[in-house]
Amino acid sequence: MGQSLLLPFLLAPAMPTPHPSANVVKYLLTVLAITAAVIGVRLLITWAAEVFLHPIPILGGWIKSLELVELSVVVLFAFLGFGLGSATHHLSAKTPVALKSIALLVALPLVFFSSYWLRHQLWLSQLTAESDLTREQITSLANQALVQQGSREGFWGYYTITTRMPILPATVAELERMAEDQKWFRSELTRFSGIEPGVFSMIFDGAGWGIRIFYMVLALLTGLIYFFKGLAWADVARLRKVAQGAAAPSKV
C-alpha cells in the first residue's frame, strides 16, 4: 500500500537543478554587464562635462576646480553596489561574503578612475588638435611638462598634478611655459600676501587631495552600503525561489 502511494512521486520527473558552474557563469556575466554599464555612463557624464560644461567661462572653471561632476558617484556607485550585491543570488547561499565582495573591490577603482582616465585622454586630444604635432609627440611633451612639475608621466602624473592644477594648458605654447607660469603665479601671490610660495603649494595640494579623498570615501561608502542592500535582496530572492520550489509539489 505504501509503495503504491510513493509510486507517482518516484515516476515523476525530477526538478532540474542548475549546475553550479552555470550559475557562476551567470554571475560573472551579470557582474561584467553591470560594471560595463556603470563605466559607460560615467564616461558619458565626464565627456559631456568636459565638452559642454567646463569650457563655460568662470563658472566652468569653478565647477572643474571643485570637481562637482564627481557628485554623480552617489547614484552610479549606489547602482553598482546594489547590482553587484543582487547578482550574488546566482551563487550558493554558503558562499562567504568576502568572496562575494571581490567583484565590488575590483569594480570600485575601475569605475572611479575611469573618469580621470578619460579626462587625461581628452586633454591630450585637445593639445593635439591645437597643434601640428602627432599624438605621440604631444604625449611626450605632456609627460615632460608633468615631470617638470614634480609629477609622474602618463595617467598617474596627470591624476596627481590636477589635484593642485585642475585647469591644465590647452595649447602646446601654454604647455611649454607651464612651469614658468606657475612660478610667476606663486611669486605674485607672495608679493601681494607676503606668504612664502611653499605655503601656497601646501594649501593647493591639501585642498586638491582633500577633494579627491572626499569623493573616494563617498564612492566607497555608497558602494558598500548598497552592496549589502543588494546582498539582502539576493538572500530574499533565494529564499523565495526555495519556497516556490517547495510549494510546487504540494499543489500536485
pLDDT in tens, 24-43: 999 999 999 999 999 999 99
pLDDT over 50 (residue 1): no
Confidence (pLDDT) at 187: 60
- Residue 2 C-alpha cell reads as 505504501
pLDDT in tens, 42-75: 999 999 999 999 999 989 989 998 899 998 889 9
How distant is the alpha carbon of residue 126 from its chain centre?
23
CB atoms within 10 A of CB 182: 16
Q: Span 111-130, mean pLDDT? A: 95
pLDDT in tens, 235-252: 998 888 777 766 655 555
Confidence (pLDDT) at 3: 47
Of the listed ranges 5-14, 49-58, 221-230, the one predicted with least confidence: 5-14
- Residue 233 C-alpha cell reads as 535582496
Confidence (pLDDT) at 202: 73
As a whole number of angstroms, the distance between CA 158 and CA 110 comes to: 17
Q: Span 111-137, mean pLDDT? A: 95
Confidence (pLDDT) at 9: 43
Confidence (pLDDT) at 12: 44
As a whole number of angstroms, the distance between CA 61 and CA 102 comes to: 37
Across the chain, mean pLDDT equals 85
**Termini Cα distance of the chain:** 20
Q: How confident is the model at residue 19 (pLDDT cuts 50, 70, 90)?
A: low
DSSP secondary structure code for residue 57 in this structure = T
DSSP secondary structure code for residue 252 in this structure = -
As a whole number of angstroms, the distance between CA 141 and CA 229 comes to: 47
Q: Are 145 and 179 in contact (CB under 8 A)?
A: yes
As a whole number of angstroms, the distance between CA 124 and CA 171 comes to: 10
Confidence (pLDDT) at 8: 47
Question: If you search the block for the grid coordinates 549606489, which residue do you land on?
Answer: 78
How distant is the alpha carbon of residue 96 from its chain centre?
25
Of the listed ranges 113-122, 173-182, 225-234, the one predicted with least confidence: 173-182
Which one is predicted more confidently, 208 or 250? 208
Backbone angles phi, psi at 57, to 5 degrees: -55, 140
